[in-house]
Amino acid sequence: MRKPSTLTCRRRHLQTPQRAVPAQVAAVAALSSGDYYNTQYRLTAELREQLAAELRDKCGIVVFPSVTNFLLCELPAQTADAADIVRRARTYEVFLRTGEEIHLSLGQRTIRIAVINKGPEMNRKIIEVLSTLVLSSLSRCDLRPGLPRTGTRHGYCGGIIDAAQRL
């Protein structure tokens, strides 16, 4: 009996697992349906823009422009770092990624938020969790004694506290 070639052995490992075939068939069907694909693209764009606006307005998070199905964001300087926010968000079943997981140059203040086509409910949950985490980080800010606390941009928390009080 002949020993199988190295290529034959490797090909066995490269084959698609049977459980993935239905997902691949569905993906090909979706891509071949222009109407479905265009609808999903528009829905993702709408959800992304809504999420970006709420992150800026309600959480004080800087959102970088995007045409993808995710947002790259910078946390306010006074909050916990991205790794801590991501870890704590998981306890609320909100799954984010740190910018450093994408590339180290993005630093410790960036997070990546996927835009999921599950309607506005998912966006609401993300905003609720992130605003809770950002506000709880801000409440631990140390304002220097003697510096004005309202109506100015002084202190470690700067104007972020003003934004947080409006929520």
pLDDT tens string 40-66: 889 999 999 999 999 999 999 999 999
Q: Is residue 40 part of a domain?
A: yes
Q: Is residue 11 part of a domain?
A: no
- CA atoms 91, 93, 96, 100: torsion sign: positive
Chain length of the chain: 167
Distances (CA, A) of 26 to 17, 41, 111, 135: 15, 16, 30, 41
Q: Is residue 111 part of a domain?
A: yes
Give residue 20's pLDDT.
72
Structural domain that includes position 87: 26-140
Give residue 96's pLDDT.
94
Based on C-alpha coordinates, what's the Rg of the chain?
22
d(CA 106, CA 144): 29
Cβ distance 42 to 114 under 8 Å? no
What stretches in the chain show pLDDT beneath 50?
142-167
Q: Whole-prediction pTM value?
A: 0.65
Q: Is residue 41 part of a domain?
A: yes
Q: Is residue 103 part of a domain?
A: yes
- Residue 51 sits in a domain whose CATH number is 3.90.1150.10
Residue 12: alpha-carbon gap to chain centroid: 36
